[in-house]
Homo-oligomer: A and B are copies of this chain.
Amino acid sequence: MKRVTIGFLGCGNVGSGVWNLLEDIAPQIAHREGLAFTVKKALVRDAGKARGAQVPLDVLTQDPAQVLDDPGIDVVMEFMGGEQPATDYLLRALANGKSVVTANKMALAANWHLLQAQAQAHGRGLYYEAGVCGAVPIIRVLADSLQANRVNKLLGIINGTTNYILTRMAQEGKNYEDVLYDAQRLGLAEPDPTADVEGFDAAYKLSILSSLAFHAHVPVTRIYREGITNITAQDVAYGQQMHLTLKLLAVAKRDGQLVQVRVHPAFVPDDHPLAAVSGAFNAVFLQGHACGDMMLYGKGAGDMPTASAMVSDLVQAARATPHRHPTFANQAQAPADLNFDCDWASVYFIRLCAVDRPGALAAIAGCFADRGVSIASMMQKSTVVDGRVSLVFVTHQAHEQSVMRALRELDPAVAALGSVIRVEGLES
């Protein structure tokens, strides 16, 4: 039996979940893995606060040094979140010869190169399965099961809050604000929902996923990002009428050295496997040149799903000698020969408020045609509001810049832009 001593950084919901799961599953881990875990210290802000696990008072500490500098601690598990002080704490733990298990996508995405360099310098492991998609083992699958693949496409629903909001908007025909308010009331969205609804959280995760998929560091700063705050119930409903489901999608595509990485609302066809991923579930759909289409689906958040991934990482951290690290992650920047494409080709859903008179459609179609944007289907709603009607177009594959230019060139006297939403997953 190998005895492994653990320090916690934080002991809130997830930390308590890990504590409880370790107690629960200890006999099995001992029998099957030959490992016995003990949590020696848990750093908390307030040792007197009630928590979801029966952590003895002498385990709790408010002094980070008792976790980070104790040579008796082998592995540090971090549940604090946020870039700092988590990053500094993890760097210090690694420098002190501890392996690290974290669910902190922000710290990892922002400081991956520092963390990995520190881990390698001290021969320790850096594990972060729980940082992306909770219990879904996408990190390990990318690293350990797709070695023989060139991944050319990855589409992810990797933020549970926005997926919950969009699912309820679709099911109930409600507005964004109303569903957000409900989600906040239910604790499914933060009081300040910016990180989720503006796509920052998804961008951190996509930085990690696309780096692993492409074996090249994709910094979060290179990811195009657009949130769901402007999505209307009307867009969701018109999409449904066209057999399209709206998601906040993380998209990474690679063609040779040309890469596109973006987080934005996107429609997927109703029969695409991602369309059925509803509520707080997460999924990553990817395409490898050998494996073909693949999807992993599961709970992207929650105490126990996150704990499931972190204890799995803990077993790896306790066992793996030597620890492995991706080849790219010591680089702070993307490789010089990787080109980030800002003029990607996509299908576009475009909603316009057009004047209700003959010739309007011809003028709009001409404007699209001038920029080489070809229309695949059109739907005109008969309701006239202030002399205008809703026109919805779905284009053929078109280039982003051409579409945006065509929309800027629309005569406002003829048509005003309601929304433009990309459509993904049609070509697979």
A binding-site residues for B, Cβ under 8 Å: 21, 25, 28-29, 31-33, 129, 135-137, 140-141, 144-150, 215, 271, 273, 276-277, 281, 288-299, 302, 304-305, 307-309, 311-312, 315-316, 326-327
Contact = CB atoms under 8 A, between A and B. Distances in A.
A28 B21 CA distance: 38
Nearest to A139: B145
Contacts of A311: 147-148, 290
A312 B146 contact: yes
Given A32-B147, A148-B308, A294 B299 contact: yes
Please indicate which of the listed interface residues A32, A33, A315 has the most CB atoms of chain B within 10 Å of its own CB.
A32
A44 to B, nearest CB: 23
A171 to B, nearest CB: 11
Residue from A33, A144, A281, A290 with most neighbouring chain B CB atoms (10 Å): A290
B290 A308 contact: yes
- Which 9 residue pairs across A and B have the least CB separation, nearest first? A137-B145, A148-B311, A135-B291, A294-B298, A290-B308, A291-B308, A295-B297, A292-B299, A290-B304
Contact of A299 (B31, B144, B293, B299): B293
A297 B312 contact: no
Nearest to A29: B147
17 contacts: A25-B148, A28-B215, A32-B215, A32-B327, A33-B147, A135-B291, A135-B292, A137-B141, A137-B146, A140-B140, A147-B312, A148-B307, A148-B315, A276-B276, A281-B293, A292-B298, A295-B296
Contacts of A304: 289-292
A308 B149 contact: yes
Contact of A129 (B33, B145, B297): B145
Contacts of A140: 140-141, 144-145
Given A292-B304, A299-B291, A312 B276 contact: no
Contacts of A271: 276
Given A25-B148, A273-B277, A290-B308, 6 more contacts: A25-B290, A28-B215, A31-B327, A140-B141, A146-B312, A291-B308
A25 B215 CA distance: 13
B291 A294 contact: no
Contacts of A150: 25, 28
A145 B31 contact: no
Contact of A136 (B147, B273, B294): B294
Nearest to A215: B32
Nearest to A290: B308
A144 B144 contact: yes
Nearest to A298: B294
A152 to B, nearest CB: 14
Contacts of A305: 290-292
B298 A293 contact: yes
Nearest to A22: B148
A315 B149 CA distance: 13
Contact of A308 (B129, B146, B273, B327): B146
User: Which of A25, A135, A307, A309 counts the most B-chain CB atoms under 10 A from its CB?
Assistant: A135
